[in-house]
Amino acid sequence: MLHDVPVNLGDRSYHIHIGAGILDRLSGLCAGVGLKGKCLIITDENVGGHYAAIVKASLEGAGFSVGLITLPPGEPTKCGEQVFALHSECVKAGLDRKSFIVALGGGVIGDLAGFVAATYLRGIDFVQVPTTLLSMVDSSVGGKTGVNIPEGKNLVGAFYQPRLVLADLDSLKTLPPREYAAGLAEVFKYGIIYDAAFFETLEANVDGLADVNNSELLARMVGRSCEIKAAVVAQDEREGGLRAILNFGHTVGHAVENVAGYGEYVHGEGVAIGSVYAARASVAVAGLSPAECLRIEAMFRALKLPVNAPRFQWPDLRKALSVDKKTVGGMPKFVLVSAIGKSSIGNEIPEALMEQLWNGL
Ligand code: NAD
Ligand code: GLY
């Protein structure tokens, strides 16, 4: 069954199509939104081997002229050098202003290819075909594109919406289990910050969450996560306020990734640690009940996601927090919850308490 989630952004509106075994529908969906002519698929080596041929065949079968670029996998690929190299590839492939880019992969490929689309010829169309759980529920939706520079992660980018998103749940079957579990951290986030009933559904199905063959449960998880993300982005596309709730767990999460050196923790694992920290902080300063905090922690533990990282010292994390995009005037800002499903942004935590919370994890 195809689940369709609209993202309502006026003339930048689009649909997220979610289903199992739907990759070959890409060409029809592209044609349906008026895309035609030439396109360039950008993917990575892990994803391309499994899915590039089927995507390419679907597009060629419908009369598109299709180029394919396969990049090395991993976060270092999301860099400025790749942006310019890909611009050159777009020229070589003969892409013009009516052409489009297909981002086939996880968040690394989606963020990079989206930024290339945003900047080539001052912007051409692109479509997102996310293949990790994290990219299905988060990075492919909402239009944040960009790359890392040596000074920091995601420091260069653009808000640039795709024309459509196609999430084929079957592609998760080849995703390494560690990456899949990390994506669940972002799924839990939506329940924690926005939807207590969704959190309860996840709790009730906790034993089945790791089963990538359970298409029905997966479709509910991905579908509801995308609905929540779409609702938030529709109200605040450029993160003037509300959208920042999506950063729950990311303040300390990013600091852990940074101090560990990118690569040791995958993004969702940093978010898991940061979420448990934010839940504890919410008990301390935002009125979350200890019982709800324990329920939040239990979900991360159940999926064997990390909930602390005692070998990192607070002063090192605090230094990383100072350069975080969310830090204003030296004080990190936290998304906290007063109850599961009720979040607020821009919270500060007294210095001594920030350290105490870390040491107590
Ligand atoms: P990723 O893109 O690095 O993918 C993780 C790994 O899984 C890679 O090795 C990849 O090759 C492999 N892979 C992907 N799909 C596969 C599949 N179906 N089968 C087998 N292997 C597969 O990581 P990610 O977690 O998807 O994305 C992380 C990136 O997303 C970070 O750069 C982060 O900054 C960014 N991000 C962006 C947003 C946003 O709103 N734009 C939100 C969250 C995260
Ligand atoms: N991943 C956070 C956002 O899209 O705003």
Q: Is 186 in the pocket of ligand 2 (CB under 6 A)?
A: no
Confidence band for 151, pLDDT divided at 50, 70 and 90? confident
Is the confidence at residue 323, as pLDDT, over 80? no
Could you read off the pLDDT of 248-260 as tens digits, one per residue?
999 999 999 989 9
- Please pick, among 254, 258, 269, 292, the residue that the annotation labels catalytic: 254
pLDDT of 261 = 86
Identity of the residue numbered 33 = V
Place of tokens 């013009």: 96
pLDDT of 222 = 98
Task: Count Cβ atoms below 10 Å from residue 330 Cβ, excluding itself.
Answer: 7
Q: Known catalytic residue: 239? A: yes
- Please pick, among 3, 17, 78, 144, the residue that the annotation labels catalytic: 144
The three state secondary structure string of 167-187 is EEHHHHHHCCHHHHHHHHHHH
- Please pick, among 229, 237, 258, 280, the residue that the annotation labels catalytic: 229
Instruction: Please give the biggest Cα pair distance in the chain.
Output: 62
Q: Is 243 in the pocket of ligand 2 (CB under 6 A)?
A: yes
114-137 average pLDDT score:
98
pLDDT of 210 = 93
Q: Phi and psi for 5 in degrees, rounded to 5? A: -115, 115
Q: Which residue has the higher pLDDT, 326 or 252?
A: 252
Is the confidence at residue 325, as pLDDT, over 90? no
Query: Do 288 and 336 form a contact (C-beta atoms < 8 A)?
Result: yes
Cα–Cα distance measured from residue 185 to residue 273, given in angstroms and rounded to the nearest whole number: 9
Residue 228 is inside which H or E element, if any? helix 215-235
Could you read off the pLDDT of 3-25 as tens digits, one per residue?
999 999 999 999 999 999 999 99
Confidence band for 153, pLDDT divided at 50, 70 and 90? confident
Cα–Cα distance measured from residue 133 to residue 96, given in angstroms and rounded to the nearest whole number: 32
Task: Out of 47, 115, 266, give the residue to mutate to test ligand 1, the one with the largest number of ligand atoms within 8 Å of its CB.
Answer: 47
Is the confidence at residue 354, as pLDDT, over 80? yes
Task: Count Cβ atoms below 10 Å from residue 226 Cβ, excluding itself.
Answer: 26
Cα–Cα distance measured from residue 144 to residue 280, given in angstroms and rounded to the nearest whole number: 29
Cα–Cα distance measured from residue 315 to residue 57, given in angstroms and rounded to the nearest whole number: 53
Distance 183 CA to ligand 2 centre (A): 14
340-354 average pLDDT score:
97
Which tokens go with 180?
A: 């899949």
Distances (CA, A) of 83 to 90, 110, 114, 158: 10, 12, 10, 13
pLDDT of 1 = 67
Q: Is 246 in the pocket of ligand 2 (CB under 6 A)?
A: yes
- Please pick, among 243, 257, 258, 333, the residue that the annotation labels catalytic: 243
307-325 average pLDDT score:
91
pLDDT of 357 = 98
Confidence band for 195, pLDDT divided at 50, 70 and 90? very high
**Domains by residue range for the chain, with CATH:** 3-174 (3.40.50.1970), 177-359 (1.20.1090.10)
In sequence order, the β-bridge partners of residue 337 are 343
299-325 average pLDDT score:
92
Which tokens go with 114?
A: 């989206």
Could you read off the pLDDT of 39-85 as tens digits, one per residue?
999 999 999 999 999 999 999 999 999 999 999 999 999 999 999 99
**Binding-site residues, ligand 1, Cβ < 6 A:** 44, 46-47, 50, 73-75, 78, 105-109, 111, 131-132, 134-135, 138-139, 142, 144, 154, 171, 174-175, 179, 267
**142 torsion bin: left (phi>0), alpha (psi -120 to 50), beta (else):** left
pTM: 0.97
The percentage of residues in the chain with a pLDDT greater than 90, rounded to a whole number, is 93
Report the relative pairing of strands 144-149 and 65-71 from DSSP bridges: unpaired
Mean pLDDT of the chain: 96
Residues with Cβ < 8 Å from 159, sequence gap 6 or more?
A: 143, 144, 145, 237, 238
